[in-house]
A and B are shown apart, each in its own frame.
Chain A
Amino acid sequence: MPDLLLELLSEEIPARMQAEAAAHLKKAVTDALVARGCLYEGARVIVTPRRIALSVHGLPVASPDVREERKGPRVGAPEAAIQGFLKSAGLTSIDEATIQSDPKKGDSYIAIIAKPGRPVPEVIADIVPEIIRAFPWPKSMRWGAASVSSSSLRWVRPLQSILCTFGPETEDPEVIRFAIDGITAGDVTRGHRFMAPGDIRVRRMDDYLTSLEKAFVVADPEERKRRILADARNLCFAQGLELVEDEGLLNEVAGLVEWPVVLMGAFEESFLAIPDEVIRATIRANQKCFVVRDPRTGRLANRFVLTANLEASDGGKAIVAGNERVIRARLSDALYFWQTDRKPLPDFEDKGKPLDQRMAKLRALNVVFHEKLGTQGERVDRIKALARHIAPLVGADPDLAERAAELAKADLMTEVVGEFPEVQGLMGRKYALLQGEPESVAAAIEDHYKPQGPSDRVPTDKVAVAVALADKLDTLVGFWAIDEKPTGSKDPFALRRAALGVIRLISENNASLKIRRVVQEAALTLVTQIFTNRLGGKPLRDVQASGIASPEHVIQAIVAEGHSIELTLEAGAADEFGTTAAVERSKVLKIGPTELADLLSFFHDRLKVLLRDQGQRHDLVDAVLASGEGNDDLLLVVRRVEALAALLGTEDGKNLLAGTKRAMNILRIEEKKDGRAYDGAPDAALVHAKGEPEERALFALLQSASTHARDHVALEDYEGAMKALAELRPAVDAFFDKVTVNAADPALRENRLRILAELRAATATVADFSKIEG
């Protein structure tokens, strides 16, 4: 069984694109082979900065013969139709066609086309050029003399050569010499750019890999990673140090070298005055080097690990010296930034402490957060107001929450964060502590961005929780108001993450706050700000007529009267409203019951996803949300789902569910038939006078059980509520066993239906049982 070896050698492929390109080549070639009937036993792909190589193992020598039938026109059809058929079927005369009889449609021609199998090399010569031409690089380019034509080959960087061989394991393979844009495939590759630049003749994957290894190319990216990691660990270990491992960096570095040579360099100890995170960010981002930890102190050591692509003639001395030089210059910059950030800021010296001065600069620069949602300064003002409002709801000191919110974004103006955005928040915390802010304010500055995803840490400090909630709620309400909601896979402002963050902040901190209320508060904050800042206190034009003249009226209008608040600025309207915005704008934002309800259901959707990921049944979440009661208290929703799941885990619960669903079914049918609802209390006298014993028992128990359930719900004790309901089970079972609901006596029938409606109402205090499956 022959093997295919294909190598595409190019100028340096960006590290981040290598893995996907390799996977694509493998899939595209094997799919195309299979589509032509060429099944294979296995395939392997490797990638380096300069090459992608694929071997497909165990292919047939030729593709299988194919018999194809093509239907033609009926016998006696016009000549033109016959000619067209002959042409499309590749026949020279109609005598070559077979006649097929059909009792309904009569006789018609049919061509039997036998396509003999083709040698697989021919198939490969067809498919590979197509795959190369259509290769889905994230960015591709043209090059060289051929690029006068716009149809010239595109590749990620200039493609230099193609190697393509095909043959059985034991023989010299055939070279498949297809050509594409002047590059003819052959059986030659090259080794390391500097250490083995000469041609290497190759037969198939196994000798390809050994030849490359001899030519200083480790073709397999996993093997490069393994070597880099092992060598880096050893170098550190020999110095009594530990490598700070970094999977992302390792992947990148392995994509930058063909022959990894790991070396250790050092920098002056005085640079260790810079925070570890900044040292690491500097060395990682700019130099793609690893940092090293001293296990005795837990802090970074003044060493770094670099991965060269060369066994240098001096053992790497010049390479280490060069890298040390660059890292020294980078760390000098970082040290300068770290020191500068703690000093007074020119032109803002009178604006308080260093971070306050940076915040003053952020405001002064009018850095835009979003064109329709104002500047970063305006956003901070909103977060402050909202954090202050939320603080008591989560048990935080409102003053501290407001202070933390004031400084939360100030580090965006620091030199360190300007250089390394990934340490935002963290630097704010450090600078806050240095200027004497309370610990919880400093912690909140770092943590207000959290949680950033499903696995990120959730802050627990109450001040941090308040600011983190305010930050995310302002974002969500703002983007909902300007109708920039996530759609499908597009979520450019990470709103799903923000909503999930709100939910996790609430549920993991056992914070019982009404999401509807805080969302309204965020909306009020936004609208108030527009009133005061952008409209100079003037009422919004659109709502002026309805007599809504103040922010309080606005929120009242939204909440109580169901109005929408819509702000529109048109070209020329700028002066009237005293704003500096000169661009033509149509609708700026709209907040109303629709937007708020929509946002609330977005929270519910995220909650469903979260609970599902935690293993809860989605139908239970639906059932709890559908009961309507208190479903804007996300913590309570979580607790109710948990209690409901526990209830349904018991025999009593399962039977109660069955009984309740039966009751609901009967009610649904009878209510539909009679065109009325059977709500309202059953007639107690009738139950006692004419009812069956089981009916009396259930009636009595329903009164106490639903009162108990309600009491427990009021105390947010869902377990207790579920227990109270579970006690109904024997009575429900007995009722359905012995009592005929549709009694001949209409009064009795109505009363029995009312008893069932009571059962429905009692269970609805915790969930809508009709949404529960099973």
Chain B
Amino acid sequence: MSSSHLPPHMRPERSFQGLILALQTFWAEKGCVILQPYDMEVGAGTSHPGTMLRSLGPRPWNAAYVQPSRRPKDGRYGENPNRLQHYYQFQVILKPNPANLQELYLGSLEAIGLDPKLHDIRFVEDDWENPTLGAWGLGWECWCDGMEVSQFTYFQQVAGIECAPVSGELTYGLERLACYLQNVESIMELNFNGREGAEKVTYREVFLQAEQEYSRYNFEHADTAALFRRFAEAETECRVLLGKGESGERHLMVQPAYDQCLKAGHAFNLLDARGVISVTERQSYILRVRELAKACGAAWLKTEAGGAAA
């Protein structure tokens, strides 16, 4: 399947949103639920409950979505051509992973205009680990002509719990992929809507101001005292909710608790960007968030979606 049937402004090689739409269409056709971004600050698409929680337990689950990812430390006031404190990941999660996941993935590259007869596509070892989520898996960085375009992981553990069955996770770094497809050197130069002339909207017009503002906030003005407080509050509330949700063999309030875990994680990321967490403390904060994630994961298995017996 190629994108040539699309009108020019919808084509993934010309339009950032066209790229997103093409991936959504492709994975929708493969049977995925197309979710929308989670409405909270997260550092990666994996943190979306649609991956983090749904990858646990025995129930089949196939989903795809875009997730805005916040990495406060990566902000560069919009001046670095490749680094942003807010960017998009396209995330696919397939549980259990189908036997032909590599072929499906390669099909998705063709769908966005990367012909594997023309481009050098490679699977290069990369073991994935997310210490704050207590998650790890084995897989690859997927290279296209020497550029990493996706992360391909077979989840082995999530929230410290063995995955049974294993999910396959694909993460496409959308901005970088789009730069390659559109042949531009800087993310800000991306054509967002695929139009030309007066109708053209660039990534710069959409996001430059936000990058500048958030970089100021992340590095200079975020209220660290308040953030420390918020971290502690979120940690406490997460635990309280997990306690209150206990109901015999079942758990009735995992997702609100998990939201608090995400809030704690984001507060930590901001504090880290502000440079107020020392190397030794850093590890202990990561551990604290991981403990929350693990507790949420364990509670998830006691819910219906987590596969608990009715």
Contact = CB atoms under 8 A, between A and B. Distances in A.
- Of residues A158, A322, A323, which shows the largest number of chain B Cβ atoms within 10 Å of its Cβ? A322
Interface in B157-186: 162-166, 168, 180, 185
B165 A148 contact: yes
A565 B146 CA distance: 57
Interface string B6-21: 0000000000000000
- Of residues A11, A139, A143, which shows the largest number of chain B Cβ atoms within 10 Å of its Cβ? A143
A365 B127 contact: no
B208 interface: no
A310 B122 CA distance: 10
A319 B145 contact: yes
Nearest to B153: A141
A366 B123 CA distance: 39
Contacts of A143: 96-97, 154, 166, 168
B58 interface: yes
A671 B121 CA distance: 82
Contacts of B145: 318-319, 321-323, 325-326
B151 interface: no
Interface string B116-159: 11111111110100000000011110001111000000101000
Contacts of A180: none
B247 interface: no
A368 B279 contact: yes
B119 A142 contact: no
B146 A287 contact: yes
A198 to B, nearest CB: 13
A235 interface: no
B99 interface: yes
A503 to B, nearest CB: 34
B138 A157 contact: yes
Interface residues of B, number: 40
Contacts of A256: 122, 124
Given A142-B166, A256-B124, A306 B146 contact: yes
B120 A309 contact: yes
B138 A145 contact: no
B4 interface: no
Interface string A676-717: 000000000000000000000000000000000000000000
A251 to B, nearest CB: 14
A318 B118 contact: yes
A156 B127 CA distance: 11
Given A11-B102, A314-B118, A322 B166 contact: no
Contact of A141 (B102, B120, B166, B278): B166
Contacts of B121: 194, 310
B165 A327 contact: no
A148 B167 CA distance: 10
A312 B154 contact: no
A150 B280 CA distance: 36
A23 interface: no
Contacts of A327: 146
B97 A144 contact: yes
For chain A, the bracket of interface size reads 35 or more
Given A11-B102, A11-B123, A194-B117, A141 B82 contact: no
A142 B154 CA distance: 8
B118 A313 contact: yes
B243 interface: no
B125 A16 contact: yes
A15 B124 CA distance: 8
A322 B138 contact: no
- Of residues B124, B138, B164, B180, which shows the largest number of chain A Cβ atoms within 10 Å of its Cβ? B138
B120 A313 contact: no
A496 to B, nearest CB: 28
Nearest to A139: B138
A81 interface: no
B81 interface: yes
Given A11-B123, A312-B117, A322-B119, A147 B99 contact: no
B216 to A, nearest CB: 15
A367 interface: yes
B170 to A, nearest CB: 14
B164 A308 contact: no
Interface in B199-232: none
A20 B6 CA distance: 49
B144 A322 contact: yes
Given A15-B125, A318-B119, A366-B278, A141 B154 contact: yes
Interface of A: 11-12, 14-16, 49, 139-150, 156-158, 160, 194-195, 256-257, 287-289, 306, 308-310, 312-314, 318-319, 321-323, 325-329, 332, 365-368
22 contacts: A14-B125, A15-B125, A139-B138, A141-B166, A142-B165, A147-B96, A147-B164, A147-B165, A148-B96, A150-B162, A158-B154, A257-B122, A308-B120, A309-B120, A313-B117, A314-B118, A318-B145, A325-B145, A325-B147, A325-B180, A332-B81, A365-B278
Given A312-B117, A319-B146, 12 more contacts: A12-B140, A16-B125, A141-B137, A145-B96, A157-B154, A160-B99, A194-B117, A310-B120, A318-B118, A319-B145, A326-B146, A329-B81
